[in-house]
Amino acid sequence: MKRNLAAQRCISKNIEIGVALSDSHCNIMIGLATAKTTRYFGRRAMVNSSLPRIALLLVTCWSAWLCESKLVRADGPRTAEQTVASFKVLDKLEVQVFASEPMIANPTNITVDDLGRVWVCDVVNYRKNQGKRVAGDRILILEDKDGDGLADISTVFYQGHDVNSAMGICVLGNKVIVSCSPNIFMFTDEDGDGRADKKSLLFTNTGVLQHDHSAHAFVFGPDGCLYWNIGNEHHGVFKPDGKAVVDIFGRTVQKNGNPYRQGMAFRQDLSGKEFEVLAHNIRNSYELTVDAFGRVWFTDNDDDGNRGTRFCYTLNGGNYGYTDEVSGKSWRTNSRMGMSLEIPERHWHQNDPGSIPNVLNNGSGSPAGVEVYEADLLPNRIRGGVVHCDPGHNVVRVYLPVKQDSGYTAETIELIDGRNDPWFRPVDSSTAPDGSLLIADWYDPGLGGHRQADIDRGRIYRIAPRGSKYHCSKVDYENPDSACLALCSGNSSARFSAWSALAAKGVGAEKALLKLSHNADARARARAYWLLTLLPESGASHLKQAAKDPDERVRAAATRMTTNLDIVTAQSLLDELVDDPSTLVQRAAAIALRRYYQHSFSCELWARLAEQFDGTDRWYLEALGLSAEMQWDRCLDKWLNRVGSEAWRTPAGRKLIWRSRGTRTLEMLTALLADPATPSEELPMLLRAIDFNEAKNRNTLLLDLIENSRDLPPQRWELIASEALKRLSPETLGPRFHQVLSQVLENITHDDTRNFLVMQYQVESRYIDLYTQSLGKFADTGKGVELLRFLVQQSFTEPLESQLSSGGISGTQLARMLALTMEPKALKLLEPLVNDSNVDPDLRREAIRSIATSKSGAEQLVKLAEKDQLDQSMRRTLHFALKTSPWTELSQRVVLLQSEGDQTESEQLPIAEWMRLPGAPDRGKQLFLGKANCASCHKFGNEGNEIGPSLAEIGNKLSRTGMYESILFPSAAISHNYESYIAVTDGGLAITGILISESEETITLKTDKALVRELRRDELEEFEKLDVSLMPSGLHRLISPLELADLVAYLSTLKAKPAED
């Protein structure tokens, strides 16, 4: 056995039960259950026919007994070899262990250089494990010297605390870029000994320390540029001097809505001077990848549990819809006209103008590393596909792009199905020079919530045809023909070295590149043209050839290559390409025109492209929108001049106006809405488009719309009129507005719409209707609470006081709802009830719970208790009300007043014993919906509420061990975007909940009662993230250990459906 296997020794003093069988012809894996873990020996189950059958039977029975006795847990860790043996692999390919523990621990990102060496970000010091590796995390180089596919040598290229939790690595010759937010470093190996000799800073303050939603890996593109991306935890990209990077359009690259939001993808030249934002408003793309045609692909993760992960293609400059483009609000708070009923569509604002369509909606998962596979060693059907690692589903997939209109959808193939080992967490892939594929495995029992339960195990696997030797020959880059071969390699590092050598030779490489441009493979031709078009004397002629290539992907790439040439040549080529028979090429030409917005020819060419829009191709439409982004008025004028003044009323014209952002757009939108010929199904999208457009006469246009559409059918007019009223600018309202508002309120039939308008414009004469509904049809609902909050804010409290004084069920109900309003004025209404012995005890308890949500109110109640002016039962209510409050001192003061029986001591939980209990999923489901109260915050299918993450596929995400940990210690690993925050107003009111949206002016929290509360920052005394989860601890006090086992058994069944063969 090799060193990395032999090192997995069993420590005899901790062995409970073990067995050791050795035979030169038998390598069956036998487990040893120790006090700490389960360890295995052996490479894979291979049985020689000469082995006596009795020995095989003995081994099989003994192994079965071990599993049956539960000494070897099904969800426990396995050796790398046992994990590999459990894989289902495409087309009978072979997976072998390239490296495992103790050679490596936890790989987060890998790349393979042109010599076949695997470079690894090896991370231990992540979050709660910070400091466990005393010398800091490592950048490793792993080498296989004898070609058997197993690493023999590990070299520490660099180690230090400045690379703790590094998330990306890119090898460019003797330079290495390491992404480790908030810094991005460039290391240089000046003497070729595999050790870093020099370190410099490329960017700083770029991303958040120890956060995997920050900066990710750089990759080298076919155009000689670097591509990279950053997740949504950052403020922008900053140079070493601290100044924000400015892109090619003069915009600072910051997450501030001007215009960029959330996560981003970038392209920059090697010097860093030419910097372009390729995509923004992404959540957290773990990595991007670029193919031979310059197409950039990435995957993106959803807000956990919403089945909205996705596979994307970049339209340069595109908005990818994670938050609202205009307001920056979360998809969860932003109820908007035309919003999709399907959460995955709603999640990415797919129905909004300006949101780029997804290639695929992938449901649940944890998207990680991606790599375009362009080698030829693996099956041909995956060539050109995007290899995607999904640690949440324990699989490695390949997405095969398929043209759809002028964009893409994709077919999915599973390359590795690793679901049989729930610890298998593939996070990245990289193609070796020989065409084999290397896969990094984080290997951990859980995922999400920034967890890292295991810091000792990590693996790298190699996928190749059976019997394939790992052999990577050294390339002579000085020879143009050899360099051209390397330029077409599947290995990124080889392509970089080849590109650099060929570019340096200039015309000296032209002959070899020209030969390559006639290759039968379109990918090879594209790679040749990227370099040929750089030649100063002959670049234009080569570009003309690229523009005539038989493959539309090469012609589409040619539109990008125009930036290598002078304006006259670029204009001439684009003039031809905008009329290309392929809509894919036309769409690419529209994107290319963005770079020429300062030149008059761009508008004329844009108008020709717009004239060819078929009215249905969303990719084409969004490309037109991006192309006209900085010159909408000129583009629309050119288009209308070409097609006629009424063309915007056609189906294609209406879509184009929906997407446009010109100064005349709002006028045209209102005209289309008032036009009875406009299909009713298009009204929501046209109304939504109003939100993206401004005009000086906005109110006049909208009031005209209401009046001009009065003769339309009632349902149609009600929709138009109510939505137009919602969108008026409040600064310039006059008598005409009040007349129109009164008319609309009299004729409107939907309660929610009428109530919204009454509150928006404070129509006092209708407040009593709001009160009646709050305790009637909307009693004990979020809608009812919102109505009460508004009434309290407006000091419309007389009916409320009357109801509270009368008591009864309605009084208790009102008190409970007033507590949920979290309004100080509402709490004041409840104070007289606390010590009134004539008031129903249930109503008094509700009053205490409500008042205790305010610090000043809680302090008053504690003082009453200390003065013995609260009886024991009311003290107990106060005690429990303060247990989850942020005011520890007040809570402790109440505890001291409690009787000994009411005080709960801390306890040591016998978790190991509980985990041995068998569970029944059917009983667990009943607990989930009932006694355990899980459904009050978690949604599965049509059951439950959307407060915490959906648990629809939690069985894929967490092992059984991880589930016990998450249930019993919910604050140990909190899912990203579900951290708890507390906001304390200047009046002492405390509101605890999940942050679902924030801007410079406001923050929005969702409470544990599913109520959404928007707060102004200037009204807050305190706002901070809490270390505790909104999910309460102590479930073991509510249900028995056996019931806990039932609940875990049920949760373990919530898994994604396996892909069909």
Neighbours of 198 (CB within 10 A): 11
In whole numbers, what is the pLDDT of the chain averaged over residues? 87
pLDDT given at position 45: 32
Percentage of residues of the chain with pLDDT beyond 90:
63
pLDDT at 358 over 70: yes
pLDDT given at position 973: 60
What band does 5 get if pLDDT is binned at 50, 70 and 90?
very low
What band does 959 get if pLDDT is binned at 50, 70 and 90?
low
143-147, 479-483, 772-776, 810-814: the lowest-pLDDT one: 810-814
pLDDT, tens digit, 9 for 90 and up, residues 1038-1056: 788 888 888 888 888 887 6
Q: What is the C-alpha separation between 147 and 469, in angstroms, rounded?
A: 6
Residue 412 sits at φ, ψ, to 5 deg, of: -120, 130
Highest mean pLDDT among 114-118, 808-812, 986-990: 114-118
pLDDT at 41 over 50: no
pLDDT given at position 50: 38
Q: What is the C-alpha separation between 858 and 726, in angstroms, rounded?
A: 39
CATH topology for 916-1052 is SH3 type barrels. (2.30.30)
- Pairing mode, if any, of strands 275-282 and 318-319? parallel
Mean pLDDT of 877-887: 73
32-36, 135-139, 668-672: the lowest-pLDDT one: 32-36
Residue 967 sits at φ, ψ, to 5 deg, of: -75, -45
pLDDT, tens digit, 9 for 90 and up, residues 722-755: 999 999 987 778 889 999 999 999 999 999 999 9
pLDDT at 908 over 90: no
CB-based contacts of 350, cutoff 8 Å, min separation 6 = 321, 340, 357, 358
pLDDT at 805 over 90: no
Q: Are the C-beta atoms of residues 852 and 881 closer than 8 Å to each other?
A: yes
Q: What is the C-alpha separation between 435 and 512, in angstroms, rounded?
A: 23
- Both tokens of 128, joined, read 């709660």
Q: What is the C-alpha separation between 118 and 997, in angstroms, rounded?
A: 41
612-616, 740-744, 761-765, 806-810: the lowest-pLDDT one: 806-810
- Pairing mode, if any, of strands 38-41 and 88-89? unpaired
pLDDT given at position 451: 81
Place of tokens 């109801």: 803
- Both tokens of 162, joined, read 């400045």
pLDDT at 46 over 70: no
Mean pLDDT of 710-728: 95
pLDDT given at position 884: 60
Q: Which residue has the higher pLDDT, 448 or 257?
A: 257
What band does 918 get if pLDDT is binned at 50, 70 and 90?
confident
Instruction: Specify the CATH architecture of the domain 84-320+356-464.
Output: 6 Propeller (2.120)
- What residues does 409 pair with on adjacent strands? 402
pLDDT at 21 over 70: no
Half-sphere exposure of 551 (CA within 13 A, CB side): 17
Mean pLDDT of 458-462: 98
What SS3 class is residue 92? helix
pLDDT given at position 899: 52
Mean pLDDT of 378-404: 97
Strand order in the sheet with 94-99: 94-99, 459-464, 437-441, 426-431
pLDDT at 210 over 70: yes
The CATH number of 475-532 is 1.25.10
Q: Which residue has the higher pLDDT, 873 or 430?
A: 430
Q: Which residue has the higher pLDDT, 706 or 895?
A: 706
H/E element, 1013: strand 1012-1016
pLDDT given at position 981: 83
Domain extents in the chain: 3-72, 84-320+356-464, 475-532, 916-1052
pLDDT given at position 60: 40
- Both tokens of 858, joined, read 């809680």
Q: Which residue has the higher pLDDT, 839 or 253?
A: 253
pLDDT given at position 962: 62
Alpha helices in 867-1015 (DSSP H): 872-883, 888-895, 911-915, 921-929, 954-957, 960-968
pLDDT given at position 744: 95
933 alpha carbon, distance to own chain's centre: 28
pLDDT at 13 over 50: no
What number of residues does the chain have? 1061
pLDDT at 51 over 70: no
pLDDT given at position 15: 28
Mean pLDDT of 657-661: 98
Buried b (16+ CB within 10 A) or exposed e, 133-165: beeebbbbbbbbeeeebbbeebeebbbeeebbb
What SS3 class is residue 1012? strand
What band does 96 get if pLDDT is binned at 50, 70 and 90?
very high
What band does 882 get if pLDDT is binned at 50, 70 and 90?
confident
Closest Cα partner for 249 from 277, 223, 224, 221? 277
pLDDT, tens digit, 9 for 90 and up, residues 537-572: 999 999 999 999 999 999 999 999 999 889 999 999
pLDDT given at position 30: 31
What band does 898 get if pLDDT is binned at 50, 70 and 90?
low
Mean pLDDT of 94-119: 97
Whole-structure pTM value: 0.81
Q: Which residue has the higher pLDDT, 332 or 509?
A: 509
- Both tokens of 482, joined, read 């050899």
Q: Tell me the CA distances in angstroms from 357 to 238, 319, 590, 656, 730, one per residue in order.
A: 30, 10, 16, 16, 34
H/E element, 738: helix 735-747
What band does 463 get if pLDDT is binned at 50, 70 and 90?
very high
What band does 929 get if pLDDT is binned at 50, 70 and 90?
confident
pLDDT at 18 over 70: no
pLDDT given at position 57: 39
pLDDT given at position 716: 96
pLDDT at 914 over 90: no
Place of tokens 């990595």: 287
Percentage of residues of the chain with pLDDT beyond 70:
88
Per DSSP, the residues of 778-814 read TTTSHHHHHHHHHHHHTT--HHHHHHHHH-HHHHHHH
What SS3 class is residue 659? helix
